[in-house]
Amino acid sequence: MPSIGREPRRVLDLYSGGGLFTVPLAAAGHRLTAVEENAQAVSDAAKNLELNGIAPRSVRLVRARVEDALRELARPPIDVVILDPPRQGCPREVIDAVFVGLRPARAIYVSCHPESFAAELPTILGAGYRVARVQPVDMFPHTPHVEAAVVLDRMTPAPVAARPRSAKSVNMPRSR
């Protein structure tokens, strides 16, 4: 898991599942809101928190679609957002809510389908973020499946046009 810093942070864990990131981050002293649509996964997360001795006040588990929950979770300001979406990636509504609306200082995007993430990246960069680090993870050796953990840091100041109309309107850095 890429670092989110040592001092306590307010973290929003989207598509949180059974608490893969929520549990260790809460154990490290961060305050989390974990959003997951699947009822069994939310129940598993609650059990994982209990089994790991995590104080209930440090984690808020929300059973909801991420798109719906984001409308309610914009307060207080969020320091870090973790996104671990399904293979199809995040709906545009989620990308806009996180990178244009919430504008956390750091986002960590865990993609099990890097091609989906690549399609979303121009919008994220256009909202004023830069890729700080990419870590590929080969969890399924001898198959074509590769995961990627991408750390995205907000640039200061934000660009003038924080919401590009399409991927074509984003100026991508040229590779050399």
Catalytic residues: 112
**Concatenated DSSP letters of the chain:** -----SS--EEEEET-TTTTTHHHHHHTT-EEEEEES-HHHHHHHHHHHHHTT--GGGEEEEES-HHHHHTT---S--SEEEE---TT---HHHHHIIIIII--SEEEEEESSHHHHHHHHHHHHHTTEEEEEEEEE-SSTTSS--EEEEEEEE-SSPPS--S-SSGGGS-PPPP-
